[in-house]
Amino acid sequence: MTQYHCPALVDCPRADARELFDLPTASDNKCPTCQSPLVPAVQPGTAAPAGGSSKKTLLAGGGAVVLALAAAGAWYLSHRPAAAPASATAAAPAAAAPAATPPAEPAAASHGIVPDAAETAALKRQGETQLVSGAAGDAELASSKAAANELIKLAVAKLAQGKLEDAEKDLLAAKEKDQRQSLVNYNLGVLRVRQNRTDDALKELEASFMKGFPYFDQLAQDSDLAPLRKDARFAALLKRYQPAK
């Protein structure tokens, strides 16, 4: 038997109550209240396992997935923020290339964290490859994760512009597409701080940490979380979930 918990903090009373379920080890255990996929309970001082979401049986054929991919691409092109003007400063001479390039990390901003662009591109390619190979279910899953990342990117841009209601709509849409993406809850936490909803912000941040949020260095640079840094509850969350250096 394995202990599981519901990760849907704010949305599910059993998640808010930190209720544990003793169930046989399986990948399709769901919360009896909100039907969110259950995740193994996190022990204090350790990071939550990233894990993959349960694969669901799909009735839609490959044609429906193609339409979903096309619609997601058209929506993004019509909603993406305008590109910033190019800098007039001349680029410095390129330095010698290092022997090895470290893995890319999501971009840290003063208003949330954006998913890594390379990860999003890889998810899109994965969806296209799986669709061609006939794995429609896997293709839809990868495409949904890529769409969620794009929505998070839009939401962070709107946070920076002070468009809080629009940012919230994008984040909730991203949550529908990928419930296990920790950056959805993290950026919702940032949004709640901006709305002066401290209790809800702490719940969203804990939900993010429970889903395996690994970007604590970027969190330390996020100026929107400044109001929480003297809150004992926030310090307790970091102590529980942030890996020791």
User: In angstroms, rounded to a whole number, what is the distance separating the alpha carbons of residues 72 and 79?
Assistant: 11
- Is the pLDDT confidence value at 224 over 70? yes
The predicted structure's pLDDT at residue 38: 79
The predicted structure's pLDDT at residue 73: 54
The predicted structure's pLDDT at residue 50: 43
Whether the Cβ atoms of residue 211 and residue 48 lie closer than 8 Å to each other: yes
Percentage of the chain lying above the pLDDT 90 cut = 51
pTM for the structure as a whole: 0.60
pLDDT digits (tens, 9 = 90+) for 36-64: 887 877 554 444 444 444 333 333 444 44
pLDDT, mean over the chain? 79
Burial of 198 (0-12, 13-18, 19+ CB in 10 A): middle
For residues 133-140, average pLDDT: 90
User: In angstroms, rounded to a whole number, what is the distance separating the alpha carbons of residues 181 and 188?
Assistant: 12
The predicted structure's pLDDT at residue 222: 92
Whether the Cβ atoms of residue 6 and residue 40 lie closer than 8 Å to each other: no
pLDDT digits (tens, 9 = 90+) for 194-211: 999 999 999 999 999 999
The predicted structure's pLDDT at residue 66: 42
3-state secondary structure of 163: coil
Nearest to 200 by CA among 210, 211, 189, 208: 189
3-state secondary structure of 34: coil
The predicted structure's pLDDT at residue 78: 57
Number of neighbouring beta carbons within 10 Å of residue 9? 21
pLDDT digits (tens, 9 = 90+) for 21-33: 788 887 678 888 8
More confident residue, 160 or 74: 160
